[in-house]
Amino acid sequence: MIELRNIHFSYGDGFALKGFTLAVEKGSFNLLVGANGSGKTTLLKILAGLLPIRSGTIIIDGRIATDADLRELCCYVLHNPFEQIVGSTVEEDLAFGLENLGLRSEEIQENIETALKMFQLSEVRHANPFVLSGGLAQKLVIASLYLLKPEIFLLDEPTSMLDDTGVEELLQALRELKQLGKTIFVSTHEPKIFFGLATSVIHMSDGTIDFYGGIHEFLERRFEDVEC
Ligand SMILES: Nc1ncnc2c1ncn2[C@@H]1O[C@H](COP(=O)(O)OP(=O)(O)OP(=O)(O)O)[C@@H](O)[C@H]1O
Ligand SMILES: [Mg+2]
C-alpha cells in the first residue's frame, strides 16, 4: 500500500498541495488528471523524493518513507525523454546506472540483454539514442530506470512529445511494467490514451484530490477541465 497523508507543499507563496490524502494498492495504474496548475507535477515530484514535504507523511508498506527511501523506490520520467538520456549508444545508456551501482561487467551485460528484449530495443542497441524516435527514446528511459529496480514509476505527461507510433511504443512499455507488478502514476491531459491499462483515476483540483475511483465512475462525473 502507498499512502499519502495530509501532504502540504509550498514553492514560496501559497500552497501547491493543500492537504493531499490518498492510498493506492501496489501494482495499481493510476491516472493523474486535472487543470493546469492543479498540482499534478508537484505531487509526482514529492512522491519521487525530489521536493521536500512541508507537512504530512508518505507511508509505504506500513512504514514512513523518507526522501531517500522515495528516491530509491520511485523513478520520475520527464515528458522529454531526450533530457533524461545520458549514454551515447542505447546500450551505454542502459549500462550507465548499473555502472554507478558498481555491478560487475558480466552482470551489466546480462541486465542489458534482459532490458533490450523486454522493451523490444534490440534492433537499436548500437544506435545513438539522440536520433531515435520520441517513442523509442521514451522506452529507453523507462528501460534504463527499470534496471535500477524501482517499485513505482512516475510519468509526467509522457505523451506530450509523441506521435501515434510513439504512443504505441510507450503503451507497450507500460504494459510490460504493469505485468511486472510495478505501481504506476501517469499525469496526463489525455487520459483516454491510458484507459485500456489504468486501474484508477485521481482528479486534482487546486492542490487537493477531489475524485479517486475507477474509469467508469470518473467518466460519469464529466469533469469540465479534463478532455475524454
Ligand atoms: N517551480 C515553481 N515555482 C513556483 N511555483 C510553482 C513552481 N512549479 C509549480 N508552481 C505552482 O504550483 C502549482 C501547481 O503546479 P504544478 O506544476 O504541480 O501543476 P500541474 O497540475 O502539473 O500543471 P500542468 O497541467 O500545467 O502541468 C501552480 O500554482 C504552479 O504555478
Ligand atoms: Mg505538470
In a domain, 140, yes or no: yes
Q: What is the number of domains present in the chain?
A: 1
Which secondary-structure segment (H or E) carries 1? none
CB of 33 sitting under 6 A from ligand 1: no
pLDDT digit string, tens, across residues 24-37: 999 999 999 999 99
What is the distance between the alpha carbons of residues 81 and 87, in angstroms, rounded to a whole number?
12
**C-beta separation of 161 from 88 below 8 A:** no
CA 38 to ligand 1: nearest atom = 21
In a domain, 9, yes or no: yes
pLDDT digit string, tens, across residues 126-156: 999 999 999 999 999 999 999 999 999 999 9
Q: Is the pLDDT of residue 96 over 90?
A: yes
Ligand positioned closest to the Cα atom of 206: 1
**How much distance in Å is there from the Cα of 127 to the middle of ligand 1?**
36
- For residue 141, the enclosing domain spans 2-221
In a domain, 226, yes or no: no
In a domain, 167, yes or no: yes
Q: Which three cell numbers stand for residue 74?
A: 520511485
Collapsing DSSP states into helix, strand and coil, what is residue 112? helix
In a domain, 94, yes or no: yes
In a domain, 78, yes or no: yes
Q: Which of 7, 11, 17 to mutate to test the pocket of ligand 1 (most atoms within 8 A of CB)?
A: 11
In a domain, 195, yes or no: yes
- CATH number of the domain within which 76 lies: 3.40.50.300
pLDDT digit string, tens, across residues 38-95: 999 999 999 999 998 889 999 999 999 999 999 999 999 999 999 999 999 999 999 9
